[in-house]
Chains A and B, each alone.
Chain A
Amino acid sequence: MAKAGGITNAVNVGIAVQADWENREFISHISLNVRRLFEFLLQFVSAFVFRIDHKEQVGIFFYEKFDLLERRLEMLEVQVSTATANPSLFAT
């Protein structure tokens, strides 16, 4: 019985070890995929978010265009306001 018990324990341990290896493999797969996700995010940040956040790079065109439009619009507003405020200019 002792032998049988020992054998059964050994078999159980072997099964447990095998299961442990399987679990480790599963965890390593998950971890690897998570790392890949991280890598993707970092690349995304460096490729898109980082450039948008820093106007000096890709987003500079966009922001410069915005600034230019706003300035021109401001100039137009001033001109329009001036013209509307001085109706005597058109009173001929």
Chain B
Amino acid sequence: MSLSRLGVRNVYGTSQQAEFYGNVDREDPEAILNGVAVSGLIGVLRQLGDLAESAAEIFQGIQEEVMATASRSNQLKMRLQHIEATVPPLEKAVLAQTTHLHFAYTGGVEWHPRIPHEHNHFIHDDLPNSFMDHYEECRDPPRLHMLDKFDINGPGSCLKRYSDPTYFRRASSSLVKGNNKFQNNNMSCKIKKKKSSSRSRDMSRLASMANQNARKTFTLISFSGQTSSSISASTSDMEKRSDLQDHHSHTYDCLSTATSSLKTGEKTKGGLVSSSLTPGSCTIGSVLSECETEDEHDNLQFTPLQGQAAAGSSCVSWDEKEEIVEEPLGVKTDEASVVDALVEKASYGEGTGRVDIGKAESEPGLQQSNGIDEVREIKAGTEIVREPRDSSEHETESEGECFVDALNSIESESENEQGLKTSLEAVSIPCGVTGERLEKSSNKVEESCRSMDNDYLNAADEMNHQDPLESDNRSRSPRNDVCTTSNITSGEDKIGFTVVPAPENSLSDSSNHLCHSEHQKSEAKVSGEVEAIKIWTNGGLLGLNPSKPPVLEVPSPDCKTEERTLGSAEAEKDKSDDLVEHVLDTPSLGTQNLTVDQRECHETSSYGVFGGLSQKLFTNSFRRRDSLPHDNRQALPPTIPENDEVMAEKSRFLFRDEAPIDWFASSPPLQHMKISLNPVDNTLQASRLKLKFSDEDNNSNNTFPSFQLLPEAATSLLDSCSDDDDDTFCMTSHIDYLSDYHSLSDSEQWEEPNDSHERKEHDSFHESTHVDNNGEPSSLHTEAENGCVDLNFSYLQSPVEPLPPPFPPVQWMVSKTASETISENKTTQSIQLQDALRFAFEKHTSSSIVNKEEPNTVASAPKPETKVHVKNNAREEKQNANEKETDADDFLQQIRTQHVNLKPVVMTRTLSSTAAAATTDPAINIKISAMLEKANSIRQAVASNDGDESDTWSDT
């Protein structure tokens, strides 16, 4: 890896470029240009050179990597082949075994692979090239091996002596050890000061145990050191071994490796040699391990202990290892002075130590020397261990201290817990008291509910002021405050409001108030119901509609399924009382909703608890529920808008004389329920229903004017307007039409004399005109009976439209037919009257007394029906019009000014007009005849002016 990225230099950026054209004659431009070109080419060549160099580096690295990988793969291949060659005989042997049970008692192989440490990055092989370049550029060490002949340690000793990289490491480690010892002493002093006498025993025991454990581990490490120290090699090997210890001996893995190497002897040697083939063996440690194992093998052949150990089974347990470790300790006690001297020498300096070791090794009695070495190593190991042991002791002490502290803390915690427990007990005792008192108070409340006395306030006061603790709890939560206040405020009036919490209260608060100790399980249920109630109770405010529309779909599955305790029943009872109070206090507001909610809430409640009034109310509610059809109940909207309530009130006002409803004693009739629960869109239809009821039941007491409640007319108006092709007619004429029509209907049904008089006149006129046109009143009557009169009349009365208008809506026709059936009895009289009118009209026309009646005609000209009829008859009486041209101009002007009031359809009143005309006097017939005369004159005038333009007559 290159730390700096390669930079491509500019072609002309080289410093030597000036050499090519700097010395050129300035007066020769060609030379200058040639020099520049040459320098450019040289720059290109330089770039190419750099490119080649970098490419070579790159590909060289790739090649190296590939080669390394290939070598590793080859090694793996070789090893696999070796294993394949050795496995078949073993396989045969294993398969030849009859029982494999004895393999379970074999110790197996105590071996652990040597994972190469990657921590020494700076001496690893794969250093960056920039670092490797520096290493490569370094000079070789001095040829100290030339001095080996003068050294007693043999070849290579001088080189290691003067160029030992591990020397500084050992020196630094010794310094660190000294510092650690000093710190440990200080810490131990501090710890001893803190220790108590009783705890010190435990701590000493713990420390001894820790020491024992540490001794185990570190003596084992020293055991490995022993094996390594038994090497009779040069000092460099020892140093390497120490280096190896620094690297590997701090783990039990190395220990196991050493022990296995001791026990297995040559076996491990082979294994380790094979492991040296690994790429990790390129490291120093792995290389040293090979030397170690070889030397170990050489030495272990002469050591009795190792021979003894090797004589044992390959499976060495931990206790056996401990014994093995302890035996050299016993040897140490025998030869402690010698070992100490050796250790001291070794500790002062490696050179001297090694010399001593060499001396010791050079002494006769190889076994003894080996034993001394072992002891020395053990001593060194223990010395090495001591520090960790101290540290471990310190750690154990510190741990013990911490443990003691933890005990203290545990004790303190336990004390705190006890204190908390006592406090909790102290708290719980009042809670139980409060629960009892709550129970009592709830019982009181129940009694008070039954008796409906005025002691409810006292009970509520008791509930609210039961316990100071509870009051404290309440004071902590604002909701409780709200609850108490609501209870107080509501408890002034009725019990229902003393018990049932306000809608702002939470469920727990409600349960608190209801039954603190008993209803812990049924809090959720109670709370759900309380929520359902709080929607429509509207915060306990009386005389007001709920702020939100009542939710009728509040589920109460818990009420249906689960068993209720007495407390929950009491809670239900309280709610029912609340409901009762609400019903009593708000009799006129949302009674439907209240009853519906009440019904839903009390479907599952226990009935035996409720008082008489509430029970009566429930029975009423059940009646209502039974009276309600199931479809209607399902069709109820989830939220009933307030408009429905208003409509219900309206209907109540409308029907208050019709059917006096006892809202509390009996269920309302079905029709009211329908009206009250109708959606907003059907208000017009509902109003029409109201009109019908009012008409049928009591017409005299209806205070509303007839023209204000005309839902049917509105619908018919819409239909008629939609049927009209010419909008100008219905835009301006519908008002009069409405008023006429409704006045007509009123005249029919309400029999108001003022309006009916004119209507009768109009109707008689119509009848006369129709008779005049058709000439057969019997046919007219038959048509009226069949309901097709409208079509004929509209065609006659509105000649503007070439085609007859479409049929009116069926509903309207039905109403017309109904009115016809009402007036069927009077048809015979109407026929006679029509005949009389016809004769009178003919008489008037023949006498030609038009001039006398001009003012009357003018007065009656604005009547649109007459104009229309006159227009229809214009062609027939065109001859008579020539005589009255002078007067017709004025009439024409009046007609054109009043044409806006023309009605497109007036056939609806014909039947009723006939019926009305039948009941009129003969004096009226005379007037009608006069009006017919006027109309005839007008017709003549129009015919004279317009002539053939009668078909295109319009309002413009």
| Cβ of B498 under 8 Å from chain A | no
Q: Are A27 and B40 in contact (CB under 8 A)?
A: yes
| Cβ of B341 under 8 Å from chain A | no
Q: How far is the CB of B699 from chain A (nearest CB, A)?
A: 100
B residues sitting closer than 8 Å to A (CB atoms) are 1, 5-6, 8, 10-11, 29-30, 33, 36-37, 40-41, 43-44, 47-48, 50-51, 54-55, 58, 61-62, 65, 69, 72-73, 75-76, 79-80, 82-83, 86-87, 89-90, 93-94, 96-99, 102-103, 106, 109, 111, 113, 115, 126, 264, 266-267, 270-271, 274-275, 278-280, 314
Residue of A nearest to B33 (CB): A20
| Cβ of A3 under 8 Å from chain B | no
With A20-B36, A77-B79 in contact, do A42 and B93 touch (Cβ < 8 Å)? no
Q: Are B274 and A77 in contact (CB under 8 A)?
A: yes
With A17-B33, A77-B82 in contact, do A41 and B55 touch (Cβ < 8 Å)? yes
Chain B residues with CB under 8 A of A19:
33
Residue of B nearest to A75 (CB): B113
Instruction: Please count how many residues in chain A sit with their CB below 8 Å of the partner chain's CB atoms.
Output: 49
Q: How far is the CB of B376 from chain A (nearest CB, A)?
A: 31
Q: How far is the CB of A57 from chain B (nearest CB, A)?
A: 12
Q: Are A49 and B82 in contact (CB under 8 A)?
A: no
18 further A-B contacts with Cβ under 8 Å, apart from A20-B36, A49-B58, are A23-B40, A31-B11, A31-B44, A34-B47, A38-B6, A41-B55, A52-B62, A66-B72, A66-B73, A70-B76, A70-B280, A73-B80, A74-B278, A77-B275, A82-B271, A83-B93, A85-B267, A92-B102
Q: Are A52 and B314 in contact (CB under 8 A)?
A: no
The CB with the most chain B CB atoms within 10 A, among A16, A50, A78, A89, is that of A78
Secondary structure type dominating chain B contacts: helix
Residue of A nearest to B87 (CB): A80
Q: Are B51 and A24 in contact (CB under 8 A)?
A: no
Chain A residues with CB under 8 A of B73:
66
Residue of A nearest to B75 (CB): A70
- The docked-state distance in angstroms from the alpha carbon of A23 to that of B32 is 13
Q: How far is the CB of B926 from chain A (nearest CB, A)?
A: 119
| Cβ of A79 under 8 Å from chain B | yes
Q: Which of A62, A70, A75, A90 contacts B279 (CB 8 A)?
A: A70
Q: Are A89 and B103 in contact (CB under 8 A)?
A: yes
Q: Are A54 and B1 in contact (CB under 8 A)?
A: yes
Chain B residues with CB under 8 A of A41:
6, 51, 54-55, 58
Chain B residues with CB under 8 A of A75:
111, 113
Residue of B nearest to A45 (CB): B58
Chain A residues with CB under 8 A of B87:
80
Q: Are B43 and A73 in contact (CB under 8 A)?
A: no
Q: How far is the CB of B210 from chain A (nearest CB, A)?
A: 34
Q: Are A53 and B270 in contact (CB under 8 A)?
A: no
Chain B residues with CB under 8 A of A89:
102-103, 106
A residues sitting closer than 8 Å to B (CB atoms) are 12-13, 16-17, 19-20, 23-24, 27-28, 30-31, 34-35, 37-38, 41-42, 44-45, 48-50, 52-54, 62, 66, 69-71, 73-87, 89-90, 92
- The docked-state distance in angstroms from the alpha carbon of A69 to that of B80 is 10
Q: Which of B30, B58, B72, B266 contacts A12 (CB 8 A)?
A: B30
* Leading 9 A-B pairs by shortest Cβ distance: A27-B40, A20-B33, A90-B93, A23-B37, A34-B47, A85-B267, A78-B271, A30-B44, A31-B11
Q: Are B58 and A44 in contact (CB under 8 A)?
A: yes
Q: How far is the CB of A84 from chain B (nearest CB, A)?
A: 6
Number of CB contacts from chain A to chain B under 8 A: 142
Residue of B nearest to A62 (CB): B69
Q: How far is the CB of A86 from chain B (nearest CB, A)?
A: 7
With A53-B1, A81-B271, A84-B90 in contact, do A27 and B83 touch (Cβ < 8 Å)? no
Residue of A nearest to B108 (CB): A82
Q: Which of A28, A38, A49, A87 contacts B62 (CB 8 A)?
A: A49
Residue of A nearest to B82 (CB): A77
Q: Are B5 and A42 in contact (CB under 8 A)?
A: yes
- The docked-state distance in angstroms from the alpha carbon of A89 to that of B96 is 12
Q: Are B1 and A74 in contact (CB under 8 A)?
A: no
- The docked-state distance in angstroms from the alpha carbon of A4 to that of B275 is 91
Q: Are A53 and B86 in contact (CB under 8 A)?
A: no
Chain B residues with CB under 8 A of A74:
113, 271, 274-275, 278
Q: How far is the CB of A69 from chain B (nearest CB, A)?
A: 6
Q: Are B62 and A77 in contact (CB under 8 A)?
A: no
Q: How far is the CB of B86 from chain A (nearest CB, A)?
A: 5
- The docked-state distance in angstroms from the alpha carbon of A44 to that of B280 is 29
Chain A residues with CB under 8 A of B37:
20, 23-24, 27
Q: Are B43 and A16 in contact (CB under 8 A)?
A: no
Q: Are B109 and A82 in contact (CB under 8 A)?
A: yes
Residue of A nearest to B266 (CB): A85
Q: How far is the CB of B112 from chain A (nearest CB, A)?
A: 9
- The docked-state distance in angstroms from the alpha carbon of A71 to that of B112 is 10
Q: How far is the CB of B774 from chain A (nearest CB, A)?
A: 107
With A24-B40, A83-B90 in contact, do A16 and B83 touch (Cβ < 8 Å)? no
Chain A residues with CB under 8 A of B50:
38
Chain B residues with CB under 8 A of A83:
90, 93
- The docked-state distance in angstroms from the alpha carbon of A87 to that of B93 is 9
Q: Pick 25 A–B contacts, CB within 8 A, sort by A.
A: A13-B30, A24-B36, A27-B37, A27-B40, A27-B41, A31-B40, A31-B47, A34-B44, A38-B47, A38-B54, A48-B62, A52-B65, A53-B65, A54-B1, A70-B278, A71-B113, A74-B113, A77-B79, A77-B271, A78-B271, A79-B109, A80-B90, A82-B109, A92-B97, A92-B102
Chain B residues with CB under 8 A of A31:
10-11, 40, 43-44, 47
Q: Which of B51, B264, B279 contacts A85 (CB 8 A)?
A: B264
Residue of A nearest to B10 (CB): A31
- The docked-state distance in angstroms from the alpha carbon of A54 to that of B128 is 10
Residue of B nearest to A35 (CB): B8
Q: Are B99 and A92 in contact (CB under 8 A)?
A: yes
Q: How far is the CB of A61 from chain B (nearest CB, A)?
A: 13
- The docked-state distance in angstroms from the alpha carbon of A38 to that of B52 is 9
- The docked-state distance in angstroms from the alpha carbon of A2 to that of B247 is 92
